[in-house]
Structures are given as C-alpha cells and as structure tokens.
C-alpha cells in the first residue's frame, strides 16, 4: 500500500522528534512493527513522495519487510531482524545519501544456526553459500543501538561487505553516530562496549572437536563438530566448526569496526570480530578494528587470511589466535592506547590445552591441527602501561604458547615510545610450555624481527637451556638496547632510529636504520624488500584515506573540533 505524505509524517513524528521537519535527528530508539509495506515514504514537509531506500526482504508469506526511512536514516526494529528473528533470505544494505545510517534496534543474525549434523543436512547447509547472503554496499554505515546487540554470520551464510579506499564500510554504535553529528563530541574517542561486535562462523577445522586422519594425509574428518561461538546463549546461540578449511563466509574489504566489546547474553565480552572456523576462501582485506574492550580479531581455528589489518586502541589482545588457526596475516599495524592494551599477539596452539594430557597434546600436533599461522610485515607499537591503568593486563608484545607452530617475518615490536613501568612486565617476547619445544625444534620461527622494549623477554628457557632471547637472535632477529622513554625516531634518541614520518609509523629502510648506534644485525628481509614492518614512506600507504584515528582529517576531534593526535606524536 501507499501512504500519503501527511500520514507518514504524522506516524514518524510520534516516533522520532522532528521526523518530517528536516535537520539531524536525535533518535531515541523504539520498537516498531516493520511488517508493513513502507516502500514509499517522505522526509520532507512538501508534497513529494520518494521511494524508501531502506533494506528489505520478502518473508515466507511473501510480505515485504522493510526498514523505516526517517530523515536520512533507515531504522530497523527487532521485528525486522534480531536474535531469534534471523535473516533467512538474501538482502542488500544499500549506501544512503547525505550521510544516512542504517540503525538496528536489535541484533543482526544472518542465517540460522544448527547444532547437529542431522539438522544441518535437513536445512541443506553444508558450506558457505548454502545459506542467505547479506550484502553491504560500499560507503554504508550500520549502527547498533544497544550494548546487547551484535552481528552474527552463521555457518553456510555469507557477508559481502566490499567497500573501497574512498568509501569504506563502517560497523559501529548509534552513540558513535550521534556523537559525530553533534556540535561537539559526546562520546570519548576511545569509548568501548557501545555495542557487542561481530561473530563470523564457518565450517573450518577447530581442535576443540575430535578428528580422524591427518591434515597432511588429506583424510582428516569429523562428525558432529558444533562449538558454541562467543555470545552463545538462548536466542543468541550460534556454532562453528567442521573439517573444511577452504570454506567461504564471504568477503570483507575496506571495513571498519568501532567501539565494540560489550557483554551479551552469556556474559561474553565480544571482540571486534570473532572468526570461528572461518575458511580460507573468505576474503578479508583492509580491515580495521577501532577501540574495543576485548580482542581486536580472534581466530578460533579455520584458515581465513588477512591482508592489511589495523588495530587501534584495543584493550586486550590485538591479534588472538587459538584452536588451530592456520591462516596468514600480511601487513598489519597495531597501536595501543597510551594507558591501555594487553598483547599485540596472544597465540595459542590448542584449545582447552590445560585440560589435556601430554599424549593428547602430541596427538593433536601429529594430526597437524594445532595453530600454524604465518605473520608477515607487522608493526606493533605497544604501550608500557601499568596494572593500574590497564583494563586487562599491562601492555606487552608477543606471547606464544600451548603448542603453537608460528612463523613471524619482517616485523617490528616496539614499546620504546613510552616510559616503562618498572612494576609491570611490558615484555616484547614470551614463549611458554609446549611452544618452547616448538621453538627448539624449529617449528616456531622468527625471521628479521626487531624488538625494542625495556623488558626484552619473559618466560622460561627452552628445554635445551637456551634463553628466549638467544633463540630469537640465532635466526637473524635483534633486541635493541632500550631505556625508559626512548623514542625510535631521529627526533629523539639518535642511537635508536627505525621509524619516521608523520605520524611516526613508517619503517626506515634497513640499510639506514640505527640500532644501538650501529647498523642493525638483522638478517635481510625474507620477502626481498628493503624494509621490515607494516609501512614505508617509499611504498604506497595502504592505511591512507579509509582508516580512522591515524591520519589528520580522519580522526576523532576534541570539543574545539581539532584532530586528536596519536599519543606518541
């Protein structure tokens, strides 16, 4: 049906202040039944009727379900989609003109979840693409109204959120949108827990399940592998896992995820994005997580890979690995807050490691399903913060444990911008338990890595008595002599110079770096390049134009409207 302009304005005026009066809106979300044909609407006090641009779908009864268009925004009530009211058909979220935002008053669950093989088979779900597809157009912004709300892509379903360098896609909170529209900011630049976050589930391998065969033998198989994802309780429940590391959960390019980490139904504090069993045919390129309470990205098994990843102001671990993740990260920039943030990398090899016997641990490794990631060209700028200021634990570098077989190449780990807290261990490198044997055996490998922290390492020696520092140095890595408050640019301590630019996040060419007043003793770059780390002024800046919080003009602002710089500028 078609509604007159006067009727639409009367309805919307009761729901949203100034809905037909023009100007920005200050939305106090309400629950509204969207199960009507809203295909025409108006945001004008004149007589013209315009087509409703909001996302829509036809339900099982053939009825059009569509968001409500208010001023420039689209509002989606829980009756449109929510936990327990999942999206079960394909849908597109379009980009809106004039800075319009898609506002969800409930969670957004794409596809249904199933916790038995029989139910999956009955639903015809065996891999990515069998379920519904959510497409988000370049430049779109999706905002969630409540800390209880989050986005889930269930197994078999896919998310295609493909932005561009000039039109990135943003997933954030309504509070962030309202703050950006106000005359002066109403939300702290590093606010967290404004909404839950994102959970993407696939049919990839997770060593929380039982398998027969081996990965190397090509006969690895499992049945009834259904691991509860983060946030799994009641209507919020979802599962991941299987034996297909080549599964596809869609494509994310030029995507920003902001202000996440709120607790949801079962008490989980969600990450920026949790990847549960997500397979290698999922494409993730140019992804940023900004200001999250828990981890930035966490991979629970699977083999999804990442190209160009940015983590800014993550309060726990910027990169968290567990349950057999076997993907690759190529180019990553991690910058902690001046006073908060835990590990740059927390990397575990086997899920539930502490409850397993030595025999069980070795059996998982023999099957080849312990975590075996590769990380290339990573720059971590961690904060040497203290227990007093850290949300979780003090700032630190890389921790490898629980049987992980990891390879890290051509990277920088630095806490040399801040004053070291003598009462906290703000170490660069730590290797624990079964991963110490992996390091000794050559199954944990570091190549062309420069470490610059006052506290160089933490943890016990390898089984043969070699220290963690000596192990790292034996394969062409180097620990700089760093004192509290050092700054690794030519503007400060000229005996330690390996970063430059404005902001100083760009690696100096290896040939002109200065470490302890000398040329570095690093081995040559493993990829044949002339620098290590994420960025170089001699190369294209892949963080430019689309990331938030790094570059002038693309940052949060203070009450005077001035850009807020990075803390070490």
* Tens digit of each residue's pLDDT (9 = 90 or more) over 82-129: 999 999 999 999 999 999 999 999 999 999 999 999 999 999 999 999
Strand ranges for 147-261 from DSSP E: 151-153, 158-162, 169-173, 198-201, 227-228, 239-240, 250-260
Query: Of 115-124, 329-338, 387-396, 483-492, which range is least confident?
Result: 483-492
Strands 158-162 and 133-136: parallel
Residues 36 and 157 in one domain: no
pLDDT exceeds cutoff 70 at 5: no
Domain that holds residue 114: 81-210+223-314
pTM of the predicted model as reported, rounded to 2 decimal places: 0.93
Q: Domain for residue 436, yes or no?
A: no
Bond from prior residue into 191 cis (ω within 30 degrees of 0): no
Structural domains in the chain (count): 2
Q: Domain for residue 68, yes or no?
A: yes
Q: Domain for residue 30, yes or no?
A: yes
Q: Domain for residue 470, yes or no?
A: no
Residues 162 and 280 in one domain: yes
Residues 265 and 120 in one domain: yes
Residues 197 and 144 in one domain: yes
Residues 123 and 270 in one domain: yes
Q: How many contiguous H segments (helices) and E segments (strands) does the chain have?
A: 6, 36
Residues 59 and 96 in one domain: no
Domain boundary among 261, 279, 314: 314
Q: Domain for residue 498, yes or no?
A: no
pLDDT value, residue 13: 38
CA-closest candidate to residue 6, choices 52, 47, 53: 47
Q: Domain for residue 50, yes or no?
A: yes
Q: Domain for residue 385, yes or no?
A: no
pLDDT exceeds cutoff 50 at 43: no
Alpha-helical segments (H) within 419-506: 434-441, 468-473
Residues 38 and 160 in one domain: no
**pLDDT tens digits for range 311-346:** 999 999 999 999 999 999 999 999 999 999 999 999
Domain boundary among 278, 298, 314: 314
Residues 68 and 95 in one domain: no
Q: Domain for residue 431, yes or no?
A: no
Residues 53 and 95 in one domain: no
Residues 144 and 202 in one domain: yes
More confident residue, 172 or 492: 172
Residues 43 and 88 in one domain: no
**pLDDT tens digits for range 162-178:** 999 999 999 999 999 99
Strand ranges for 427-511 from DSSP E: 429-431, 445-452, 457-458, 478-479, 496-497, 499-500, 506-507
- With residue 408 as reference, give the H or E element that holds it: strand 407-414
Residues 67 and 177 in one domain: no
């Amino acid at each position: 049906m078609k509604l007159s302009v006067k009727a639409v304005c009367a309805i919307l005026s009761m729901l949203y202040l100034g809905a037909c009066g023009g100007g920005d809106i200050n939305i106090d979300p309400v629950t509204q039944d969207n199960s009507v044909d809203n295909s025409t609407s108006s945001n004008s006090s004149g007589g013209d009727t315009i087509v409703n641009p909001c996302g829509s779908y036809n339900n099982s009864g053939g009825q059009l379900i569509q968001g409500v268009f208010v001023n420039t925004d689209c509002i989606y009530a829980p009756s449109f989609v929510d936990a327990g009211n999942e999206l079960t058909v394909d849908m597109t979220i379009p980009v809106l003109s004039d800075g319009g935002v898609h506002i969800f008053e409930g969670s957004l669950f794409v596809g249904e979840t199933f916790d038995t093989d029989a139910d999956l088979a009955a639903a015809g779900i065996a891999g990515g693409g069998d379920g519904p597809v959510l497409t988000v157009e370049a430049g779109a912004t999706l905002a969630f109204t409540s800390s209880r709300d989050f986005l889930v892509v269930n197994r078999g379903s896919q998310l295609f959120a493909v932005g561009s360098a000039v039109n990135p896609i943003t997933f954030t909170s309504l509070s962030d949108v309202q703050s950006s529209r106000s005359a002066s900011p109403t939300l702290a630049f590093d606010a967290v827990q404004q909404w839950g976050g994102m959970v993407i589930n696939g049919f990839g391998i997770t060593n929380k399940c039982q398998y027969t065969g081996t990965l190397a033998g090509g006969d690895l198989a499992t049945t009834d592998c259904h691991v509860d994802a983060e946030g799994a309780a009641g209507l919020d429940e979802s599962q991941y896992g299987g034996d297909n590391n080549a599964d596809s959960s869609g494509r994310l390019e030029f995507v920003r995820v902001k202000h996440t980490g709120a607790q949801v139904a079962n008490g989980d504090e969600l990450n920026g994005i949790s990847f549960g069993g997500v397979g290698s045919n999922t494409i993730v390129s140019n992804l940023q997580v900004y200001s999250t309470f828990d981890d930035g990205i966490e991979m629970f098994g699977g083999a999804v890979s990442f190209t160009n990843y940015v983590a800014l102001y993550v309060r726990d671990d910027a990169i968290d690995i567990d349950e057999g993740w076997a993907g690759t990260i190529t180019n990553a920039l991690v910058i902690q807050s001046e006073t908060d943030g835990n590990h740059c990398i927390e990397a575990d090899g086997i899920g539930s490691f502490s409850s397993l016997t030595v025999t069980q641990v070795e059996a998982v490794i023999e099957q080849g399903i312990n975590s075996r990631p590769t990380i290339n060209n990573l720059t971590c700028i961690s904060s040497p913060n203290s227990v007093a200021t850290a949300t979780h634990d003090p700032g630190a570098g890389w921790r490898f444990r629980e049987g992980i077989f990891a390879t890290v190449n051509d990277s920088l780990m630095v806490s040399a911008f801040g004053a070291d807290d003598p009462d906290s261990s703000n170490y660069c490198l730590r290797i624990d338990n079964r991963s110490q044997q992996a390091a000794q055996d050559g199954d944990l490998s570091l190549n062309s890595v420069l470490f610059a922290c006052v506290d160089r390492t933490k943890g016990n020696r390898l089984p043969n008595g070699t220290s963690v520092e000596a192990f790292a140095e034996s394969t062409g890595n180097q620990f700089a002599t760093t004192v509290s408050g050092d700054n690794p640019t030519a503007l400060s301590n000229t005996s330690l110079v390996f970063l430059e630019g404005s902001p100083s996040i760009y690696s100096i060419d290896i040939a002109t770096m200065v470490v302890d007043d000398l040329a570095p003793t690093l081995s040559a770059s493993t990829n044949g390049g002339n620098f290590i780390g994420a960025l170089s002024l001699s190369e294209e800046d892949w963080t430019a134009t689309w990331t938030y919080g790094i570059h002038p003009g693309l940052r949060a602002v203070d009450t005077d409207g001035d850009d807020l710089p990075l803390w070490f500028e």
